[in-house]
Amino acid sequence: MLIESEFDIQFRLAVPAPMVAMLHLHPSLESQIRAGNELIVEHLDGDAKRNIATTEYHDSFGNRCTRFVAPSGTVRLSGTSTAEVDGAPDPIHASAQQAPVQDLPNEVLQFLLPSRYCQVDQFGPIAQELFGWMTPGWTRASAIRDWVHEKVTFNYSTARPTKTAMDVFTERIGVCRDFQHLAITLSRCQNIPARYVTGQLGDIRWPYSGPGDFSAWYEVWLDGRWMTMDARHNVPRVGRILMATGRDAADVAITTSFGSANLVKFYVESNEVTEDGTKIPVLGSPALQVTPV
């Protein structure tokens, strides 16, 4: 299954500001990319466009990051990419095992620690009371995801950048990043390594037909590898395309601006490309067809 995604994000700045963007597909998808995956940064002045110089680096999590200085005026970040994904909905690994902490790989240990929006050090007894009695591994990990999905209500208008897992636990309302932060925190408290993911979700617009958006989900480390979880949607989806991973949203902001930058346009869309080149909505998940949530 081919997914083509494109975005056009524009900021207006009164004074120049250095920025970092994480808008490429994740390096782990390298072999699946069929076209594109360039990030174009331009200064817009009426009809005139001028390319802005960028440099790249990989952060300590292996994410591909782009640096540039956004000039005053309007700056556009845009790109198109086509990637081949397997087209199957998120798998269910009902028998996946949770390794004892001593058997976790060294580089996975950091995903048990507290981080900015995931106060693992405040949720220990809460997580233990809710989930400590459950079978470790997939059962417990997916119960945490289900609990968050069940208890938290989605609401765009309550988004705020400083919202933590504790805020989500008490307010019970949030956007996709908030759902994942709470689920990540509860998972880590139960010694299940969990990391935050940003990416594109082809059928994010389903069941309504609104504007596209990037999405956030999370991954848990079971059976010796990272497995997809999504406390926001909580039905197996198709066409997830990973962009960046980190401990929480503080590590993988789509764009970080060191100075004031006003978002003035935000367009994201991803579609399936059929064999004859037609673009169709990504609506492949059988679960979605049957039991809309």
* Contacts with its own copies, residue ranges (CB under 8 A): 18, 20, 57, 59-61, 65, 67, 69, 100-102, 106-107, 109-110, 112-116, 119, 121-123, 125-126, 151, 157-158, 160-162, 166, 169-172, 191, 250-251, 256, 258
Nearest approach, Cβ of residue 201 and its own copies (Å) = 25
Of residues 69 and 283, the one with the C-beta less far from its own copies: 69
Helices of type H across 172-259: 176-189
Q: Are 40 and 56 in contact (CB under 8 A)?
A: no
Q: How far is the CB of 274 from its own copies (least distance, A)?
A: 40
Question: Quick check: 256 and 19 in contact, CB under 8 A?
Answer: yes
Q: Using the minimum distance from each CB to its own copies, give the nearer residue, 246 or 284.
A: 246
Of residues 135 and 157, the one with the C-beta less far from its own copies: 157
Strand order in the sheet with 214-222: 225-229, 214-222, 194-201, 240-246
Shortest Å, Cβ 163 to its own copies? 10
Please report how close the Cβ of residue 118 comes to its own copies at its closest, in angstroms. Answer: 8
Radius of gyration of the chain (CA): 19
Nearer to its own copies, 67 or 279 (CB): 67
Least distance to its own copies, CB of residue 236, Å: 27
If the CB atoms of residues 157 and 278 are measured against its own copies, the closer one turns out to be: 157
